[in-house]
């Protein structure tokens, strides 16, 4: 195996040095979730499965953790599905159709993505109250999907731009409609992009905190991020259980990342050739 050039070895050392605090944090989380006491990164107490008692009993009047888990799964899956479908249709139209205001629309999409979500919270609150969607799961799903759509449209436009025109033109000449062409030819050809966007959207929705914490106040619609935050109170000092909840919250997203990491790389490739 050839040795890396000196500059690459230096870069790897720098990246390793920057990653050490993150790696140490994950190790601390793992040890604290399974042991009674931890001094630094060294277990000082015995094995503590009681840290995971939130799985079979209600803790501190909180709802069962599986209610929050179910809500988080619904939230992430629906947001990802809506983002992939809507972003794909919008991106295909922008990439393949010429219509008045196309350049202006592209610019507005980019500007919308530039706005930080936290600056829109008050406006979103009034809109959700007006529509009767405040403190509902469907409300936060619509908000999250809407805020993520600009990025999804730009990503999918790159994939559609890289497709060859010849196959589509041949299908149009044979009498295929644009709608059929989109579903049967264009969408299968950008499958890597769809999988990459779906994986990215699921990861983003699963880790979302600000939107559900702000617009959901009842326990029946609570997500895992809000459930975890509820342990951060002045009266709570069971860091072992807090770490266990964090590990439980991280397991699905770690599994998803391991399964979808090769598709995430396609986001930066700009598409595939037809």
* pLDDT by 10s per residue, the chain, length 274: 456 677 788 888 888 888 898 888 888 888 888 888 787 777 777 888 888 888 888 877 777 889 999 999 999 999 999 999 999 999 998 888 877 877 787 778 777 777 777 888 999 999 999 999 999 999 999 999 999 998 899 889 888 988 887 877 888 888 888 888 888 888 988 888 898 899 889 989 999 999 999 999 888 888 999 988 888 775 666 788 888 999 999 988 888 878 777 766 655 554 444 4
The answer to whether residues 34 and 24 touch, using CB atoms and an 8 Å cutoff, is: no
Q: In angstroms, rounded to a whole number, what is the distance separating the alpha carbons of residues 274 and 263? A: 18
Q: How many CB atoms lie within 10 A of CB 241?
A: 21
pLDDT of residue 273: 44
- 263 and 186 assigned to the same domain: yes
| Residue 58 included in any domain | no
Number of domains forming the structure of the chain: 2
Residue 80 CA, distance from chain mean position? 8
| Residue 1 included in any domain | no
96-117 residues labelled b (16+ CB within 10 A) or e (exposed): beeeeeeeeeeeebeeeeeeeb
- 260 and 150 assigned to the same domain: yes
- 40 and 67 assigned to the same domain: no
| Residue 123 included in any domain | yes
- 199 and 71 assigned to the same domain: yes
| Residue 54 included in any domain | no
Q: In angstroms, rounded to a whole number, what is the distance separating the alpha carbons of residues 89 and 48? A: 51
| Residue 32 included in any domain | yes
- 89 and 200 assigned to the same domain: yes
pLDDT of residue 206: 93
- 39 and 123 assigned to the same domain: no
The answer to whether residues 219 and 62 touch, using CB atoms and an 8 Å cutoff, is: yes
Q: What is the pTM of this model?
A: 0.85
- 71 and 113 assigned to the same domain: yes
Structural domain harbouring 27: 6-47
Q: CA distances (Å), 61 to each of 50, 234, 268, in order? A: 17, 16, 45
- 32 and 83 assigned to the same domain: no
| Residue 264 included in any domain | yes
- 43 and 71 assigned to the same domain: no
Q: In angstroms, rounded to a whole number, what is the distance separating the alpha carbons of residues 209 and 229? A: 9
- Matching residue, tokens 């589509």: 168
Task: For residue 254, give the 3-state DSSP assignment.
Answer: helix
| Residue 135 included in any domain | yes
Q: To which H or E segment does residue 187 belong?
A: helix 187-189
| Residue 88 included in any domain | yes
Which CATH number belongs to the domain containing residue 95 in this structure? Answer: 1.10.3720.10
Nearest 5°: the CA angle 122, 125, 129 is: 145
- 223 and 247 assigned to the same domain: yes
- 165 and 206 assigned to the same domain: yes
Q: To which H or E segment does residue 43 belong?
A: strand 42-43
């Amino acid at each position: 195996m050839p040795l890396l050039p000196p500059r690459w070895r230096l870069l790897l050392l720098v990246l390793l040095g920057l990653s050490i605090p993150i790696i140490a944090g994950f190790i601390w989380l793992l040890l604290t979730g399974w042991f009674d006491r931890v001094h630094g990164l060294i277990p000082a107490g015995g094995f503590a499965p009681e840290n995971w008692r939130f799985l079979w009993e209600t803790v501190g009047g909180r709802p069962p953790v599986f209610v929050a888990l179910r809500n988080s799964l619904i939230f992430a899956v629906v947001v990802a599905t809506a983002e992939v479908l809507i972003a794909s249709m919008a991106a295909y139209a922008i990439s393949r159709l010429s219509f008045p205001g196309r350049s202006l629309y592209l610019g507005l999409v980019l500007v919308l993505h530039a706005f930080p979500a936290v600056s829109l919270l008050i406006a979103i609150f009034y809109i959700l109250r007006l529509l009767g969607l405040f403190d509902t799961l469907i409300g936060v799903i619509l908000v999250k999907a809407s805020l993520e759509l600009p990025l999804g449209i730009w990503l999918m436009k790159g994939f559609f731009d890289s497709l060859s025109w010849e196959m589509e033109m041949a299908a149009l000449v044979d009498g295929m409609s644009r709608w059929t062409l989109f579903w049967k030819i264009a969408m299968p050809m950008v499958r890597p992009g769809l999988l990459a966007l779906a994986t990215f959207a699921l990861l983003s929705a699963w880790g979302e905190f600000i939107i559900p914490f702000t617009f959901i106040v009842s326990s029946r619609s609570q997500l895992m991020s809000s459930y975890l935050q509820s342990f951060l109170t002045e009266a709570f000092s069971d860091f072992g259980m807090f770490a266990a909840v964090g590990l439980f919250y991280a397991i699905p997203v770690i599994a998803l990342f391991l399964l979808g990491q090769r598709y995430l790389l396609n986001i930066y490739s700009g598409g595939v050739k037809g």
